[in-house]
Structure 1
């Protein structure tokens, strides 16, 4: 009976790991950032979703299908001359808003999310992003 419980526990851990990671390869794009206030948002109105959030451009918006999706975003380089902006970390953000046609990036990160992965003086960075699949 003990071995059956161990196998069941192992299967649960493996299932959780699969559910929290993406099965797709990372896409590349650019990120910009926006400053508070973060409400209202296109997806959630006046609901507070914290600060690890982002607005989706037309590239990933999908007529509101992006609402609630989570993306792991990593800075991979500068879009202009200057010191390297990347901190070498990644951040997971929740899509809560729409960045309209004037959006200058694939993902418009909250200032807090952007500053977690890059120097905000850069303004715009090259990124890799992966959608997290959570079941």
Structure 2
């Protein structure tokens, strides 16, 4: 029994030796990890200087360009992945351009309505003309009537200009001829220029002009009563400018608009609506109608048969008042 007592003590010493070896191994491992961490986290490590600087710059720029957005952190030693390009409006703060409209009451009492003009087509081209076209000679007869105050179906109003004519019903074409200037030639070579202010109803035949008595007398003896003529559309020189008038009874709920004093026949009148320009229908009494009130009192765009457009702003909604502008269509 006495000879077996030392064995347990030797096992204890052997266990202590193993524990010491394990402890030493753990300490060595911890030391190696600590050394590695120190090497990784050293601020003066040469291979991290460029990356750290780049990441810092990207973060600042990214925050500015994204209007305060946070840039995600990047892994050590890696440059940040390039972010997708932002939209132009986000990067620059620009907004989509939109058309602006000048309010009808934006002008002062002393200011006249202003206008802008679209480029006009080449002279001679009249894509919007109706039956009466430039560079065409029409044949018919001339008769005479008492023009009275100078007013007529075109509703231009009284005028001191006595060199006027009524266009036959066919060529009047629901007021498309209103305001047109025509050059009239008699068989003996006499000629005059008249402005269309009225309609000659049926049985006036195509090509016929019913002249004011004064205009007829400038061509032939009034006693003749009826003479053969030729006539053609004219784009005359003039010192007049275009005027615009709202018809009596016009309001912001319904209005009728008329242009006066235009050099060339008028093809269209448009008003500014919610979705752009709205083309108004033309009545045979020479007003363009907005039955719903759209555009009444706002900007107006007028177009002649040659396609030239004049955009007018500052036209007040004042019924039965001819409001002059400073513009005129080009001569052809």
Q: Is the pair's TM-score, using the shorter chain for normalization, greater than 0.5?
A: yes
Task: Say how many residue pairs are matched.
Answer: 106
Q: State which of 228, 233, 241 in structure 2 corresponds to 1:131.
A: 233
112-121 or 102-111: bigger deviation: 102-111
What is the correspondence of 1:37-56 to structure 2 with a 5 Å cutoff?
37-48=148-159, 50-56=161-167
Name stretches of at least 5 consecutive residues in structure 2 with no aligned partner.
Answer: 1-122, 125-132, 236-263, 265-329
Asked if the contact 1:91/1:116 (under 8 Å) is kept, the reply is yes
What is the correspondence of 1:66-105 to structure 2 with a 5 Å cutoff?
66-76=177-187, 86=188, 88-103=189-204
C-alpha separation between the residues in 2 aligned to 1:127 and 1:37? 23
CA-to-aligned-CA distance 1:59-113 (integer Å, 9 cap, x gap): 310110000000000112xxxxxxxxx4x31000000001111336711000111
Q: Residues 23 and 57 from structure 1, CA distance in 2 versus in 1: closer, same or farther, beyond 3 angstroms?
A: closer
Name stretches of at least 5 consecutive residues in structure 1 with no aligned partner.
Answer: 1-17, 77-85
Q: Residues 66 and 49 from structure 1, CA distance in 2 versus in 1: closer, same or farther, beyond 3 angstroms?
A: farther
38-47 or 104-113: bigger deviation: 38-47
More strand by share: 1
Q: State the 1:49 CA deviation.
A: 5.2
Asked if the contact 1:59/1:106 (under 8 Å) is kept, the reply is no
The answer to whether the aligner puts 1:117 opposite 2:250 as a matched pair is no
SS at match of 1:95: strand
Q: Residues 107 and 116 from structure 1, CA distance in 2 versus in 1: closer, same or farther, beyond 3 angstroms?
A: same
What TM-score, normalized to structure 2? 0.30
SS at match of 1:37: coil
Asked if the contact 1:57/1:100 (under 8 Å) is kept, the reply is yes
Q: Larger RCO: Structure 1 or Structure 2 (Cα < 8 Å, ≥ 6 residues apart)?
A: 1
Q: For the pair shown, which has the larger CA radius of gyration, 1 or 2?
A: 2
User: Partner of 2:46 in structure 1?
Assistant: none
